[in-house]
Each structure stands twice: as C-alpha cells, then as structure tokens.
C-alpha cells in the first residue's frame, strides 16, 4: 500500500552518501522534529533524474528552506557510492541529502516500488515527492509512469 497523508514515515535503516563515504541513516531520526521534503527517483544518472528532477531541487533549495523546510532529501535504489558520485557529478554541496536505498527497503516500506526487472533494472523507486512534518506525511505526489509534473520542486513549493 502506498504511503498516504497522515501516515508515519516508516522507520528503516538505510545509508546516506556523503563526501566522506557512506553513513548509516535511521529514517525515524532523520524525519523527527523537522519538516523534510523527500523526493524519489528511479535511478541516479538517469536522464530525467539528472537533467530535471535533482537539479530542480538544488535550484529551489533556498526557496524551499524559506518556506520552513529543514532538509531536502533525494532517494534512489542505488548504493551510497553511486549516490555520492551522482552528487559530485551534479555539484551538490549540501543543498540535498543523498539517500541510498540500495536494497529498496525504504522504497518498499513506502509502498513506492516499481518492478523494472523485465527491462533489466530490477526493483526501483517510483518518481515521487513528499512533505513530512515531524515524521508524518503532510503531502505526497506520485508521478504517473513516464510523468514529471507533480513531484517537481516547483510543485512541492506550491504545496507548502
């Protein structure tokens, strides 16, 4: 079942990609006591994700924070080393927390998995964005297959 407004963000242990390497990340701790925008992408280095989705949140980071967002996080079903390389490639310097959900545990807990096994890509994350306040979902937007409208940084700014 897909996560909905009012649901608690699932508590899962995953990893955060940092310039110093992989660090453990407990989602319950990460989301507690703050407003977080989390957006998920099917994969690092993929065309729409690299050309539009991640750059949009980097560009709008200051505007999001001006509206009370404490943290912006990008999640993909990739390992932390790929996420760190993608952050470096995209010039991320702290605007966005890069979350590696290598085994899709968090993605599955959110109910947002996308099975692309037939295309040789395995289980991935649907393209989505959500706003969580103190660990509870306040807004969630999941894209239709191939879509890129409701999960953009601009759409999330409008939802705040």
Q: Which domain holds residue 84?
A: 13-159
Lowest mean pLDDT among 16-20, 60-64, 97-101: 16-20
Higher pLDDT, 117 or 6: 6
**Per the domain annotation, does 73 fall within a domain?**
yes
| Domain-embedded: residue 88 | yes
49 is catalytic: yes
Within a domain: 18: yes
Say if 152 falls within a structural domain.
yes
> pLDDT tens across 82-110, in order?
999 999 999 998 899 999 999 999 999 99
What pLDDT is attached to residue 92? Answer: 92
Average pLDDT value for residue range 129-152 = 96
pLDDT tens digits, 116-128? 777 767 688 999 9
- CATH number of the domain where residue 19 is located: 3.40.30.10
Does 155 reside within a domain? yes
**Catalytic-role residue among 17, 36, 49, 129:** 49
85 within some domain:
yes
pTM: 0.94
Examine residue 2 and state whether it is found in any structural domain, yes or no. no
Instruction: Tell me how many domains the chain contains.
Output: 1
Q: Is residue 6 part of a domain?
A: no
What whole-number percentage of the chain has pLDDT above 70?
99
Range 83-89, long-range pairs (CB < 8 A, 24+ positions): 83/17, 83/44, 84/17, 84/18, 84/19, 84/21, 84/22, 85/44, 86/44, 86/45, 86/50, 86/54, 87/17, 88/19, 89/45, 89/50
Task: Name the percent of the chain lying above pLDDT 90.
Answer: 81
């Amino acid at each position: 079942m897909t996560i909905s407004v009012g649901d608690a963000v699932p508590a899962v242990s995953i990893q955060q990609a940092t310039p110093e390497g992989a660090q453990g990340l407990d989602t319950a701790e990460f989301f507690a006591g703050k407003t977080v925008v989390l957006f998920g992408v099917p994969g690092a280095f993929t065309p729409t994700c690299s050309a539009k989705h991640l750059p949009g949140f980097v560009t709008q980071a200051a505007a999001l924070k001006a509206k009370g967002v404490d943290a912006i996080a990008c999640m993909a079903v990739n390992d932390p080393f790929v996420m760190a390389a993608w952050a470096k490639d995209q010039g991320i310097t702290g605007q966005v927390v890069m979350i590696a959900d290598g085994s899709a545990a968090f993605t599955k807990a959110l109910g947002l998995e996308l099975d692309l096994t037939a295309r040789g890509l395995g289980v991935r994350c649907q393209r989505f964005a959500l706003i969580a306040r103190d660990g509870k979902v306040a807004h969630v937007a999941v894209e239709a297959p191939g879509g890129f409208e409701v999960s953009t940084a601009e759409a999330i700014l409008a939802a705040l």
